[in-house]
Chain A
Amino acid sequence: GENVEQHPSTLSVQEGDSAVIKCTYSDSASNYFPWYKQELGKRPQLIIDIRSNVGEKKDQRIAVTLNKTAKHFSLHITETQPEDSAVYFCAAANPLLYSSASKIIFGSGTRLSIRP
Chain B
Amino acid sequence: DAGITQSPRHKVTETGTPVTLRCHQTENHRYMYWYRQDPGHGLRLIHYSYGVKDTDKGEVSDGYSVSRSKTEDFLLTLESATSSQTSVYFCAIGAGVTDTQYFGPGTRLTVL
Chain A positions within 8 Å of B, measured between CB atoms, are: 6, 9, 31-32, 34, 36, 43-46, 49, 51, 89, 93-100, 102-109
Contacts and interface: CB of A to CB of B under 8 A. Distances in A.
A43 B93 CA distance: 13
Bin chain B's interface residue count.
20 to 34
B44 A44 contact: no
B105 to A, nearest CB: 6
A31 B40 CA distance: 26
B98 A95 contact: yes
B43 A44 contact: yes
A35 to B, nearest CB: 11
A103 B45 contact: yes
A33 to B, nearest CB: 9
Contact of A32 (B35, B45, B97, B104): B97
A15 B110 CA distance: 37
